[in-house]
Amino acid sequence: MFKTGSSFWFLFYLCLLLYTCVVLSAAESALTGVWYRPSCTGRIIASPAADLVAVTQGFNTIGIYCVSDGSPVSQMTVPAIVMRAFAFSADGKLLATGTDDQMIRLWRVDNGTLVRTLSAHAGVVTSFAFSPDGKWMASGNAAPSITLWKCRDWSVAETITGMVGSADSLLFSPDTRYLASESASWDDPGRFRRRSCF
């Protein structure tokens, strides 16, 4: 059993650990940097080049940080709307965010400027995936359905339905021929979707 003083320091360092971003090198499996950001409160994803990370800050803000030193690059905020999902584009220049208002917003990573707003979902946007070749974006929602977008003009190419639960995770195969979707529903734990229309 911890003494009062020990308990305080244990909780202090535990909180510090939870709010510290630890950057690892996947190639070398070695620690490459540690930096402290008290405003980082949730999920974190890396850019395709692994030089930037996007971190949720509260319920409606995402911050972009440089991996090498933790310096801030940009910030995206949607007033009074909860951000549910976010993903870097294949080239790392855009960040897609999905929110409770069923909208998709595309932001410039370098300066946080809102580039475009997309609307095609009947439910909360829950997931994203960009194809490795940069031609397609898939977005999942709680309706449930998956929408495939053409990145060249952001038009809808196809809408996939038939899931039992919301599309909580999406992943393109390396050759972009397949799109895998995962649902939190026990009746529909995971499916593979084959692109057939393009």
Is residue 129, in this structure, part of any structural domain at all? yes
Quick check: is 64 in a domain?
yes
Any domain includes 28: no
Torsion of CA 45, 47, 53, 57, to 10 degrees: -60
User: Residue 16: inside a domain, yes or no?
Assistant: no
Residue 71 is assigned to a structural domain of this protein = yes
Residue 32 inside a domain? The answer is no
Domain count, the chain: 1
- What's the pTM? 0.74
CATH code for the domain of 78: 2.130.10.10
Tally the residues of the chain.
198
Q: Is 55 within 8 Å of 62 (Cβ atoms)?
A: yes
Q: What is the pLDDT along the chain (198 residues), one digit of tens a residue?
A: 434 445 555 544 444 444 444 444 343 434 344 444 444 446 889 999 999 999 988 888 999 999 888 899 999 998 768 888 999 999 999 999 988 888 999 999 999 999 999 987 778 888 999 999 999 999 988 888 899 999 999 999 998 887 777 788 899 999 998 888 887 654 545 555 544 333
Provide the terminal-to-terminal Cα distance of the chain, rounded to the nearest Å.
62
Give the count of beta carbons closer than 10 Å to the beta carbon of residue 186: 8
168 lies in some domain = yes
Nearest 10 degrees: CA dihedral of 166, 168, 174, 178? -10
Domain carrying residue 83: 39-194
